[in-house]
Amino acid sequence: MTIKPSLDRRIQTLFPVALACLLVLGTSRLVLDSLKSNQSSIFRVYGRQEGDEHKKPVFVLPEDRFEKGCDVFEGQWVWDNVSRPLYTEESCPYLVKQTTCQRNGRPDSFYQDWRWQPHACKLPRFDPLKLLDVLRGKRLMFIGDSVQRGQFESMVCMVQSVIPDGKKSFHRIPPMKIFKAEEYNASIEYYWAPFIVESISDHAINHTVLKRLVNLDSIAKHGKSWEGVDVLVFESYVWWMYKPLINATHGSTDDIQEYNVTTAYKLALETWAKWLESNINSIKQKVFFMSMSPTHLWSWEWRPGSDENCFNESYPIEGPYWGTGSNLQIMKIVDDILRESKINVTFLNITQLSEYRKDGHTTIYGERKGKLLTKEQRSDPKKFADCIHWCLPGVPDAWNEILYAYLLQNHQNFM
Query: What b/e sequence results for 93-111 when a residue is b if at least 16 CB atoms lie within 10 Å of its CB, and e otherwise?
Result: eebbebbbbbebebeebeb
- Residues 303-342, one symbol each (x = binds ligand NAG by CB under 6 A, - = not), give ---------x------------------x--xx-------
From 13-21, 237-245, 371-379, 382-390, span contacting ligand NAG (CB under 6 A): 237-245
Distance between CA atoms of 132 and 187, rounded to whole angstroms?
9
Q: Does position 79 bind ligand NAG by CB under 6 A?
A: yes
Residue numbers annotated as active site: 146, 386, 389
Q: Binding-site residue total for ligand NAG (CB under 6 A)?
A: 34
Q: Does position 40 bind ligand NAG by CB under 6 A?
A: yes
Distance between CA atoms of 266 and 268, rounded to whole angstroms?
5
Give me the least distance between CB of 393 and ligand NAG, in Å please: 14
Q: Does position 171 bind ligand NAG by CB under 6 A?
A: no
Strands 139-144 and 231-234: parallel
Contacts of 236 (CB under 8 A, 6+ apart): 144, 145, 193, 194, 195, 196, 268
Out of 48, 122, 125, 303, the only residue in the binding site for ligand NAG (CB under 6 A) is 48
Out of 49, 83, 253, 282, the only residue in the binding site for ligand NAG (CB under 6 A) is 282
Strands 186-192 and 139-144: parallel
Closest CA to 196 of 182, 179, 216, 177: 216
Out of 54, 65, 106, 243, the only residue in the binding site for ligand NAG (CB under 6 A) is 243
Element (H, E) at 401: helix 395-409
Q: From start to end of 119-260, where are the E strands?
A: 139-144, 168-173, 176-181, 186-192, 198-199, 214-215, 231-234, 245-249, 257-260
Out of 67, 90, 258, 318, the only residue in the binding site for ligand NAG (CB under 6 A) is 258
Give me the least distance between CB of 212 and ligand NAG, in Å please: 6
Out of 81, 83, 306, 374, the only residue in the binding site for ligand NAG (CB under 6 A) is 81
DSSP 143: E
Distance between CA atoms of 240 and 77, rounded to whole angstroms?
29
Q: Does position 98 bind ligand NAG by CB under 6 A?
A: no
Contacts of 333 (CB under 8 A, 6+ apart): 262, 265, 266, 269
Q: Does position 410 bind ligand NAG by CB under 6 A?
A: no
Give me the least distance between CB of 146 and ligand NAG, in Å please: 19
Q: Does position 250 bind ligand NAG by CB under 6 A?
A: no
Give me the least distance between CB of 69 and ligand NAG, in Å please: 12
Out of 6, 13, 38, 412, the only residue in the binding site for ligand NAG (CB under 6 A) is 38
Q: Does position 281 bind ligand NAG by CB under 6 A?
A: no
Q: Which is nearer to ligand NAG, 290 or 388 (CB)?
A: 290
Q: Which is nearer to ligand NAG, 161 or 327 (CB)?
A: 327
Distance between CA atoms of 408 and 396, rounded to whole angstroms?
18
Side chain identity at residue 273, one-letter code: A
Q: Does position 84 bind ligand NAG by CB under 6 A?
A: no
Residues that bind ligand NAG (CB under 6 A): 38, 40-41, 45-48, 79, 81, 137-139, 185, 206, 243-247, 258, 260, 262-263, 282, 291, 312, 331, 334-335, 344, 347, 349, 351-352
